[in-house]
Amino acid sequence: MDRVRPALYLALLLILVLIWQAWNQDYGQPPTSQGPAPGAEQRTADQDQASSERADVPSAPAAREASPAAEPEAGGDKGEPIRVVTDVLDVRISPKGGDIVRAALPTYPVSSDRPEEPFVLLETSDKYYIAQSGLIHERRQGMDTEGRAPSHHARFTADQQTYKLQEGQERLQVPLTWEGPDGITVTKVYTFHRGRFVVDMAQRVDNDGQTRWVGRQYRQLRHGPIVGEDNTSQFIYTFTGAAYYDGSYEKIDFEDMADNPLRKDIQGGWIAILQHYFFSSWIPNQEQTNGYYTKSLQDQAIPHYIIGMRSPALSAEPGESASFHSRFYAGPKLQEQLKEIAPGLELSVDYGIFTFLSKPLFWLLDFFHSLVGNWGFAIILVTLVIKIAFYKLSEASYRSMAKMRAVQPQLKSIKERFGDDKQRMNQALMDLYRKEKINPLGGCLPILIQIPVFIALYWVLVESVELRQAPFMLWIDDLSARDPYYVLPVLMGITMFLQQKLNPAPLDPIQQKVMMALPLVFTVFFAFFPAGLVLYWFINNLLSIGQQWVITRRMEQGAT
């Protein structure tokens, strides 16, 4: 029974294991290969590009033969990208395919010490992460359809090189045009809106030829290998990869795309590529059924990963038009806004298996922030509410520990008398617990019940973009970054040490040493954690110490 004491630290040890697993997943895996194996034959850049361009265009359904797309100048991206600037987006659209090849977020600086430099979500320099779209022409049996359609390798033209949302203007349209053979003209129009990260995209096919045109729209997101901070954040693991929604939220690791490619027809839904705090997504008409797919391919010996969707076919008779519509999102994971865009899109804020607890906790955190205007004080108030909610459970735990502390001299006496006879010692301990009406496991259950709540709040503080670069007070100017002077981690370690002094010490000397080492171990781990998490644990420890001290004092004075 002398091992009861360590059970009271089960919650702390469990979190420590979770931290280690997350750290190992981030930093313990071998890096993704960025090139061919030693001695492997090198292909030329032109060969790789040609292979990639053939592989990354989705095909039409197998039952219908797709004619090859007409792609003038597909061998290179000639021409400067078209720049589009709104109040919340700074976008580059390539003339090649009309792809979105860069998306910066001016209202979200890359860091608090570089406020003028916007965070870049999509780009082709440090990482390869772009949004592509195009059309696939179909040839159907019995139809003389010799028209063509532009994939994302075709060449588009625009009237301007720069578009900017002017003061008082609510929306901005950017049209790009492709002219193909047989009188086929495709106009791709992006519509940007003031204050919104979602962009409308339409592809209109005008058939001025002599034969019927039949084709499909596809939209896809393409990402290169994970590099830099895409999947790391101060020793905390966050998911970087693909996701889709088919009524339930599904994540896909990039590496799984090669072994288990997605092929699925889904009504509505959406596709996305996620990273910490930000993501991009293609959102189709929710009444439409699209063919969802994933691909893994090599571009100059570097792996690239694609998730996309292909629409049903539309047709345009000679002299008629056909239009395809979609929406594209590139921005932060703001839950309230995402709910309004598409069903399930707010699930991109991934709280894990305790989402049902995390959502109300975030609502409470956001509510307190609306009252006090400071996320740090909001965290303190949420911690206080959680402590009040579990007051009775915590009280039972602390009463049990206080009783154990009161009989500590008798426990030591029993150990000295029967230390060599485990059976007699355990029997004597049971008799003592029965006599003093002590449940040696009474302090464990309340802690176990609180573990899911703690983990849920943990993910709220990790995943919520609202806390990114949010200042608290004094030297804490970013609750999502570590304490630059390690003051909070040290204070947290001190409170853990004080808690141990209020608890009964384990009888086993080895266990005593382990317990004494825990505050130091947690201090070192938490030194690299976001300040918001450390603030929560520190305040929780302070409240626990106060509650435990009062209960212990009352029991020592004989109060009930």
Q: What pLDDT, in 10s, does the model give residues 508-541?
A: 566 666 667 778 888 888 888 888 888 988 998 8
Calpha distance 432→428 (Å, rounded): 6
Domains of the chain (ranges; CATH) run 4-22+359-556 (no CATH), 56-349 (2.70.98.90)
On the question of pLDDT at 109 being above 50, the answer is yes
The better pLDDT of the pair 145, 246 is held by 246
Examine the pLDDT at 434 and tell me if it is beyond 60. yes
Mean pLDDT lowest among 79-83, 350-354, 391-395, 437-441: 437-441
Q: Is the pLDDT of residue 441 over 70?
A: no
Tell me what pLDDT residue 558 has: 60
Banded pLDDT at 437 (limits 50, 70, 90): low
Task: Extract the tokens encoding 300.
Answer: 């100059």
**Mean pLDDT, rounded, for 69-81:** 52
Which range is least confidently modeled, 263-272, 325-334, 409-418, 484-493?
409-418
Chain segment 160-202, per-residue pLDDT in tens:
999 999 999 999 999 999 998 888 999 999 999 999 999 999 9
Q: What integer is the mean pLDDT of 44-51?
A: 42
Q: How far apart are CA 257 and CA 55, in angstroms?
A: 14
485-495 confidence digits (pLDDT tens): 999 999 989 99
Given this model, what pLDDT does residue 41 score? 36
Q: Mean per-residue pLDDT for 117-128?
A: 89
- pLDDT-wise least confident of 12-16, 65-69, 245-249, 276-280: 65-69
User: What pLDDT score does 481 carry?
Assistant: 82
| CB contact at 8 A, 366 and 468 | no
Is residue 66's pLDDT more than 90?
no
User: Residues 62-67: contacts with CB within 8 Å, 24+ apart?
Assistant: 64/138, 64/139, 64/140, 65/138, 65/139, 66/136, 66/137, 66/138, 66/139, 67/137, 67/138, 67/139, 67/145, 67/146, 67/148
Token representation of residue 169: 């203007």
Between CA 468 and CA 358 the distance in angstroms is 17
Picking from 523, 533, 532, the residue whose alpha carbon sits closest to that of residue 493 is 523
For CA atoms 504, 508, 509, 513, the dihedral sign is negative
- Average pLDDT of span 106-116: 88
Quote the pLDDT of residue 27: 40
User: What was the pLDDT predicted at 12?
Assistant: 53
What is the per-residue pLDDT across 150-160, written as a single tens digit (0 to 9) for each? 999 999 999 99
- pLDDT over 60 (residue 145): no
The pLDDT score that the predictor gives to residue 445 is 59
> What separation in angstroms does the CA of 384 have from each of 49, 139, 413, 496, 540?
58, 66, 40, 18, 8
344: pLDDT strictly greater than 80: yes
Degrees, nearest 5: CA angle 521-522-526: 125
Distance of CA 382 to the CA centre of its chain: 22
Per the model's pLDDT, the better-predicted residue between 3 and 203 turns out to be 203
As a whole number, mean pLDDT of residues 203-214 equals 91
SS3 content of the chain, % helix, strand, coil (to 5): 40, 30, 35
pLDDT value at 47 more than 80: no
| Dist. CA 238–CA 236, nearest whole Å | 6
- In three-state secondary structure terms, 181 is helix
For residue 482, the 8-state DSSP code is B
pLDDT band at 6 (very low <50, low <70, confident <90, very high): very low
pLDDT at 61 over 60: yes
Q: What is the pLDDT of residue 226?
A: 79
**Whole-prediction pTM value?**
0.79
* Average pLDDT of the chain, as a whole number: 80
The predicted pLDDT at position 467 comes to: 87
